[in-house]
Structure 1
């Protein structure tokens, strides 16, 4: 029974889940990269599936509230003896993400459940292997093995996205670019995109409805004013230094390049 509950919890964590990728740049080119998984709706669905809303007496006690940040470097120092005894795969994963952090915000009464994985970077070059670092950070979660198994052995694995796609970031004095590289020879990249996700597949259609309201959002903040962006429908902050755009999760699975963007800055 416990395994079934755990499996359901993992499924809920990846269905109806909104993902936000945020990058904030400082004047000197440093900044913060953060990917946040908003799982509030999944939490509500899981609560309903496990027996519905709490009774009035339980509500009066107040739900769990959590707001914590874990810095991997601090964890490695505090628990260095225990980490040294970990299996090599886990130990190497800790080494690879020691400059990253993970935060968790939860408020059961308000239906908030957000998990973020981030990096405070010194320059754009620090983001070269960010996809791999995020993957390793996720693998450190106690549920990492179960999720990995689901990705390989369950139809739901098709909805988690490809681990092989790489996202690159280019920052110059006058522009910024987000570029997705599909793991395929240059000549075959267009065909590779077509094969990433087949929404007509019978096994995929069984789960598509759970992801219809899920989105992948990109939010970019710069020290300079934005002149133009290559994505239609993007929204700007009042000072035009932050741009936000998104795409439906299914559309993102079909073509991750939909989130690529070219940003031009005002020549100040």
Structure 2
């Protein structure tokens, strides 16, 4: 099934490259809106072309700009979906209301990939963390990914055992992360005195990666709990950024509580 093969390649790339991740939500007056988790791997593309000696000829450069709606794929390839292993078939069923967008231009050194959903209410985002994991579970090379988790690179892959949820009302909004009781951030540490070139290489690989959060509301934001956040769009949009390494060690750094102005 071409769709599954393409998804496998993209998800492996996301797992094993440094990038900027942006989580964005835009709310409408009626509580509906759009959610997008976007991976910008332009820096990786640039580094890859440089390491390969300047890139390929223009005739061989790939260009892709497309949006894949899971519901449409499930209908078009329903026989193939039905033949998938139960785990992957159930994963596709769980994310049928979501979409995946890809934009790649090798000549321009552009590559970004996003997972999104248009929602009717905040209730649709209740299990968004789980839905993202379901999309990632579609990876046909899961054994290879699992094997990497014991390596230095595996330490810096996105944490899988935490969940996050949103709460939205007329007066406030919050993003809350739930960590397992046995969460130990020290497991992500590398020995500062390590002479391992591989350890140092992986640390350098991810040290410039970041996670950006941007939420837009129909009301002005009165107060917020993030120190380095910025307001824009008439104080209706809040944006903040954390380093990827800080996020991996403590996913709660993305949590925020905010209140709206009484207009």
User: Shorter-normalised TM-score: what interval?
Assistant: 0.7 to 0.9
Q: Is the 8 A contact 1:218 1:246 kept in 2?
A: yes
The residue correspondences of 1:26-37 to structure 2 (distance < 5 A) are: 26-37=28-39
Per the alignment, residue 90 of structure 2 pairs with 92
Per the alignment, residue 208 of structure 2 pairs with 213
Q: Is the 8 A contact 1:31 1:121 kept in 2?
A: yes
**TM-superposition CA deviations, 1:1-45 (whole Å, max 9, x none):** xxxxx99x9468633211110111111111111100111111222
Root-mean-square deviation (CA, aligned residues, Å) is: 2.4
1:259 aligns with 2:250: no
Structure 1 unmatched ranges of 5 or more:
1-5
Per the alignment, residue 138 of structure 1 pairs with 136
Alpha-carbon distance between aligned partners in 2 of 1:154 and 1:242, rounded to the nearest angstrom: 39
Per the alignment, residue 27 of structure 2 pairs with 25
Q: Is the 8 A contact 2:19 2:44 kept in 1?
A: yes
Going from structure 1 to structure 2, the CA distance change for 1:154 and 1:209 (only over 3 Å counts) comes to same
Alpha-carbon distance between aligned partners in 2 of 1:94 and 1:82, rounded to the nearest angstrom: 12
**SS of the residue aligned with 1:102?**
strand
| Alignment match of 1:200 (pick from 191, 199, 203) | 191
Q: Is the 8 A contact 1:167 1:181 kept in 2?
A: yes
Per the alignment, residue 180 of structure 2 pairs with 183
Per the alignment, residue 166 of structure 1 pairs with 163
Alpha-carbon distance between aligned partners in 1 of 2:14 and 2:120, rounded to the nearest angstrom: 35
**TM-superposition CA deviations, 1:195-235 (whole Å, max 9, x none):** 45224374754511111110011010101111121111212
Per the alignment, residue 5 of structure 2 pairs with none
1:228 aligns with 2:229: no
Q: Is the 8 A contact 1:196 1:255 kept in 2?
A: no
Q: Is the 8 A contact 1:226 1:240 kept in 2?
A: yes
Q: Is the 8 A contact 1:100 1:120 kept in 2?
A: yes
Going from structure 1 to structure 2, the CA distance change for 1:115 and 1:148 (only over 3 Å counts) comes to farther
Alpha-carbon distance between aligned partners in 2 of 1:62 and 1:241, rounded to the nearest angstrom: 44
- After TM superposition, the score normalised by the length of structure 1 is 0.85
- After TM superposition, the score normalised by the length of structure 2 is 0.87
| Alignment match of 2:41 (pick from 12, 34, 39) | 39
Structure 2 unmatched ranges of 5 or more:
1-7
Q: Is the 8 A contact 2:15 2:157 kept in 1?
A: no
Per the alignment, residue 4 of structure 2 pairs with none
Going from structure 1 to structure 2, the CA distance change for 1:240 and 1:62 (only over 3 Å counts) comes to farther
**SS of the residue aligned with 2:253?**
helix
